[in-house]
């Protein structure tokens, strides 16, 4: 059955507002998604009725908060098919999760002569930490190039893998182009040379089913706010044998078993990576977001989003002087317009109540490779978008063209 989008949109209070006197058309979902009322209610309920620290107290509020907090961890594990919730580590987002792996796994294990393999499509969060690791350890970075269609070149990737390749870090879906990368094939290549794999799933979890066991990746990271949850909460999944060998990244309270001035012993998984008071409300809110997503017909959601993407690509392709970058497949479409700066177009669209994103999308190396120094305009969808939203964008671009 098709989704009842009008009914679902009522779950997202922010979508009912006007911007600059126009109904809001929100097409910036790759940057952050809006939150359903159930997530907002979960946050408010925690602060109104359960506000206490987790794990450390014997009183009732702490017990309730701890239960909700750990239930959320279990929901995440189920959502991505992790073998055990202890392999789910709370972080502030995908960026912190990547940094955790970079500093807790990369720094101790990599050495001069080793190679880290990235792709041209990576978000800065999956580039800069590895540059820091390479600078500190003497390892070097290799980069998978693009094909003429702005997709990862698998043949070139195969040539880059060698016995020196110790880690592959690549995104499942490009945040800038909406391209679904062939991560299963890349993971297989990595395994052939015994390289560790990290998958940045920040743009995937809101659109695609994720099964970390089927992927057989070593690490998988994502952010809650890109899948209808709160900001400031994210997830690192890791294989148990790796997580157990990795030293803590941050130290302090909560992650310890025993402390003396002579010696400190650290707690077991997942707590040894969760120093200090965690984002309790954020974790509970992410659990509520997973409950919401899990209550939807995922096949119907995928079909609806596919139709929106087709409408968006076809509509942009028909507009004079508009050029789509690459061959988008999931969530986001990047495009440029002849002789028009992306920021100028976005400003005129905003005046019509249409929210899109402009610039490099935290992917400067990708934009350099594509010869796009000013970046692009990016329209990104979620299941609560409608065909009317796409039509409004296309009409808005046409009106803005008249100005130029």
pLDDT in tens, 270-302: 999 999 999 999 999 999 999 999 999 999 999
The partner residues of 259 in beta bridges, in order of sequence, read: 264
The partner residues of 234 in beta bridges, in order of sequence, read: 91, 223
Measured between its terminal Cα atoms, the distance across the chain in Å is: 43
* Positions marked catalytic: 362
Mean pLDDT of 126-144: 98
Domain boundary pick from 262, 294, 326:
294
In a domain, 139, yes or no: yes
Q: How far is CA 190 from the centre of its chain?
A: 22
Mean pLDDT of 370-376: 97
Please give the angle made by the CA atoms of 275, 175 and 274, to the nearest 5 degrees. 5
Query: Tens digit of pLDDT for each residue in 239-271?
Result: 999 999 999 999 998 888 899 999 999 999 999
- Verify that 276 and 399 share a domain, yes or no: no
Q: How far apart are CA 141 and CA 111, in angstroms?
A: 12
CATH code (residue 358) = 3.90.1150.10
Q: How many CB atoms lie within 10 A of CB 374?
A: 13
Contact status, residue 101 vs residue 241, Cβ threshold 8 Å: no
Q: How far apart are CA 181 and CA 208, in angstroms?
A: 12
Q: Domain range for residue 11?
A: 5-30+297-403
| Residue (of 326, 360, 313, 373) closest to 122 by Cα position | 360
Does residue 118 sit in helix, strand or coil?
strand
Mean pLDDT of 34-45: 98
In a domain, 60, yes or no: yes
- Verify that 283 and 305 share a domain, yes or no: no
- Verify that 226 and 341 share a domain, yes or no: no
403, pLDDT greater than 90: no
| Lowest-confidence region among 255-259, 344-348, 372-376 | 255-259
Domain count, the chain: 2
Please give the angle made by the CA atoms of 343, 345 and 350, to the nearest 5 degrees. 90
Q: Which pair of structure tokens corresponds to residue 54?
A: 């987790």
HSE-CB of 1 using CA atoms within 13 angstroms: 5
Mean pLDDT of 217-237: 98
- Verify that 198 and 325 share a domain, yes or no: no
Omega into 270 within 30° of 0, i.e. cis? yes
404, pLDDT greater than 80: no
- More confidently predicted of 320 and 81: 81
Q: How far apart are CA 269 and CA 283, in angstroms?
A: 17
147, pLDDT greater than 70: yes
- Verify that 179 and 228 share a domain, yes or no: yes
In a domain, 35, yes or no: no
The partner residues of 265 in beta bridges, in order of sequence, read: 258
CATH code (residue 80) = 3.40.640.10
Q: Which pair of structure tokens corresponds to residue 231?
A: 């900001």
- Verify that 24 and 94 share a domain, yes or no: no
- Verify that 18 and 149 share a domain, yes or no: no
Average pLDDT taken over every residue of the chain: 96
In a domain, 19, yes or no: yes
- Verify that 78 and 219 share a domain, yes or no: yes
Contact status, residue 112 vs residue 133, Cβ threshold 8 Å: no
Query: Tens digit of pLDDT for each residue in 68-123?
Result: 999 999 999 999 999 999 999 999 999 999 999 999 999 999 999 999 999 999 99
Mean pLDDT of 219-248: 98
Residue 44, H or E segment: helix 37-45
CA distances from 347 to 114, 395, 399, 400 (A): 46, 15, 12, 9
- Cβ-Cβ contacts under 8 Å for 154 (sequence gap 6 or more): 182, 185, 186
- Verify that 132 and 86 share a domain, yes or no: yes
- Verify that 224 and 336 share a domain, yes or no: no
- Verify that 308 and 319 share a domain, yes or no: yes
In a domain, 225, yes or no: yes
In a domain, 36, yes or no: no
Q: Model confidence at 182, in pLDDT bands (50, 70, 90)?
A: very high
394, pLDDT greater than 80: yes
According to the model, what pLDDT value does residue 254 have? Answer: 87
Domain boundary pick from 239, 271, 294:
294
Mean pLDDT of 127-148: 98
Domain boundary pick from 240, 266, 294:
294
Rounded to two decimals, what is the model's pTM?
0.96
Q: Model confidence at 401, in pLDDT bands (50, 70, 90)?
A: confident
Task: Work out the percent of the chain whose per-residue pLDDT is above 90.
Answer: 95
Task: Work out the percent of the chain whose per-residue pLDDT is above 70.
Answer: 100
Q: How far apart are CA 318 and CA 320, in angstroms?
A: 6
Strands 234-238 and 219-223: antiparallel
According to the model, what pLDDT value does residue 1 have? Answer: 64
């Amino acid at each position: 059955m098709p989704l009842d989008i009008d009914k679902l949109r009522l779950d997202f209070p922010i979508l009912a507002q006007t911007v600059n006197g126009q109904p809001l058309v929100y097409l910036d979902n790759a940057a952050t998604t809006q939150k359903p009322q159930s997530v907002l209610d979960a946050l408010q309920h925690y602060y109104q009725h359960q506000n206490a620290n987790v794990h450390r107290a014997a009183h009732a509020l702490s017990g309730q908060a701890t239960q909700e907090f750990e239930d959320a961890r279990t929901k995440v594990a189920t959502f991505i098919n992790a073998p055990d919730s202890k392999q789910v580590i709370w972080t502030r987002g995908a960026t912190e999760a990547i940094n955790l792996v970079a500093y807790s796994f990369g720094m101790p294990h990599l050495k001069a002569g080793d190679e880290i393999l990235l792709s041209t499509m990576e978000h800065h969060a999956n580039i800069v930490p590895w540059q820091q690791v390479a600078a500190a350890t003497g390892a070097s970075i290799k980069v998978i190039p693009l094909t003429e269609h702005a997709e990862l070149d698998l043949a070139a990737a195969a040539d880059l893998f060698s016995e020196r390749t110790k880690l592959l870090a690549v995104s499942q879906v490009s945040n800038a182009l909406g391209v679904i990368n062939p991560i299963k094939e890349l993971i297989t290549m990595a395994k052939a040379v015994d390289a560790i794999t990290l998958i940045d799933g920040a743009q995937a979890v809101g659109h695609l089913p994720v099964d970390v066991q089927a992927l057989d990746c070593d690490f998988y990271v994502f952010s809650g706010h890109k899948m209808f949850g709160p900001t400031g909460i994210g997830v690192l999944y890791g294989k148990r044998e790796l997580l157990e060998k990795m030293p803590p990244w941050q130290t302090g309270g909560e992650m310890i078993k025993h402390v003396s001035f002579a010696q400190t012993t650290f707690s077991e998984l997942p707590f040894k990576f969760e120093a200090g008071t965690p984002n309790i409300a954020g974790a509970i809110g992410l659990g509520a977001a997973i409950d919401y997503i899990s209550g939807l017909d995922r096949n119907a959601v995928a079909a609806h989003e596919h139709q929106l993407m087709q409408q968006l690509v076809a509509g942009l392709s028909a507009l004079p002087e508009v050029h789509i970058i690459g061959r988008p497949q999931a969530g986001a479409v990047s495009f440029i317009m002849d002789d028009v700066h992306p920021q100028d177009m976005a400003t005129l669209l905003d005046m019509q109540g249409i929210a899109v994103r402009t610039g490099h999308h935290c992917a400067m190396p990708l934009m350099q490779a594509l010869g796009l120094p000013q970046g692009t305009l990016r329209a990104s969808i979620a299941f609560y978008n409608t065909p009317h939203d796409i039509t409004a964008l296309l009409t808005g671009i046409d009106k803005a063209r008249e100005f130029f």
